Chains A and B, each alone.
Chain A
Amino acid sequence: MSRPDAALADALAAGTPIPRDADGPVFAEPWQAQAFALVVALQNKGVLTAQEWAEALGAEIREAVAAGGCRDGSDYYERWCEALEHLLIAKGLASHEGVDALAASWERAAEATPHGRPILLENDPQRVS
């Protein structure tokens, strides 16, 4: 696996204030890196184009700024996640209800998992399928 190059990171963040240092993106919490990696992987697979992503993220951030948020970059990756979700929905690859249900399932799975075991979706006591 080659290192996602700086040009890709730039493309990902076109016109948006991605938190970064001289070497590339930086993350305040692990989930942010996971969310970042998802978008890089989707672009590597050709599921999203850099242009589509830049527009989706840009729109999300403009909306947040207009509503008074996202000014200091601290909620950058929240907007990132919303942009990803909305783009997947627009492409017919996900539904809002589907993501809601899966997220709720993960939360229940985490609560039901004893320490010392990996958190698995199967651990959700209410899981049906």
Chain B
Amino acid sequence: MSGHDHQHHHDHDNHFTPIEARVKALETLLVAKGYVDPAALDAIVETYETKVGPRNGALVVAKAWTDPAFAERLRQDGTAAVAELGYGGRGGEHIVAVFNTPDEHNLIVCTLCSCYPWPVLGLPPVWYKSPPYRSRAVIDPRGVLADFGVTLPADQRIRVWDSTAETRFLVIPQRPAGTEGWDEERLAGIVTRDSMIGVGLPEVGAAT
């Protein structure tokens, strides 16, 4: 299902911009002096983690469901197709869309918070950065999915995609039955962040 040329550089591809390094420096200093508790920081960030553009990804998925030509462009060149909708920028330069099929379910993992397609998915959730998720997603993806309350058919393979600094993956879930005739906006309403990471599935009843 994927004819993409995936690059996996696992050396020296980490980078902080000066401002990112500065924020880390301030954080380190304040944590060391006891003025800030790292867990409290995580909790605050978690409150806002859906506030960096996650609707963008949902709209990409909804368009892929309703517009076969767009879906094909997305399959061929995720970056360009996402840019058509006006999304992109740092962190999203090379977006590869991986499409779920009845035979194959896709799951994204990365060991670093920087390796996450945040222009389309927003801030990485805290669990995405946690060591248990990072290691278990590769070793026991079905178990990880069970933790998220997702049970797939036994004959549906799970393909795990390891993000890199160059390549960020976006899962395109299968369009659920019962959504015939829905417009893009309504469809986007059932596309959750988790379903675009591959740890969830869009549910027709989930629309709010």
Residues of A that sit less than 8 Å from B by CB: 1, 3-4, 21, 23-31, 33-38, 40-42, 44-45, 47, 78, 81, 84-85, 88, 93-94, 98-99, 102-107, 110-119, 121
Q: Which residues of B contact A121 (CB under 8 A)?
A: 28
B90 contacts A29, CB within 8 Å?
A: yes
Q: What's the minimum C-beta distance from A58 to chain B, rounded to whole angstroms?
A: 19
Q: How far is the CA of A38 from the CA of B24 in the complex (A)?
A: 10
Residues of B that sit less than 8 Å from A by CB: 9-30, 33, 35-37, 39-41, 43-45, 47-49, 51-52, 89-91, 111-115, 118, 123-124, 162, 164-165
Q: How far is the CA of A121 from the CA of B28 in the complex (A)?
A: 9
Contact of B35 among A23, A31, A42, A118 (CB under 8 A): A42
Q: Which residues of B contact A98 (CB under 8 A)?
A: 29
A106-B16, A119-B112 are known contacts. Are A31 and B23 too (CB-CB below 8 A)? yes
Contact of A30 among B22, B26, B118 (CB under 8 A): B118
Q: Which residues of A contact B115 (CB under 8 A)?
A: 115
How many contacting A-B pairs (Cβ < 8 A)?
A: 154
Q: How far is the CA of A88 from the CA of B28 in the complex (A)?
A: 13
Q: How far is the CA of A42 from the CA of B111 in the complex (A)?
A: 28
B52 contacts A33, CB within 8 Å?
A: yes
Q: How far is the CA of A78 from the CA of B47 in the complex (A)?
A: 21
Q: Which residue of B lies closest to A80 (CB)?
A: B23
B14 contacts A29, CB within 8 Å?
A: no
Q: How far is the CA of A37 from the CA of B51 in the complex (A)?
A: 13
A29-B91, A93-B33 are known contacts. Are A118 and B16 too (CB-CB below 8 A)? no
Contact of B22 among A28, A36, A93, A103 (CB under 8 A): A103
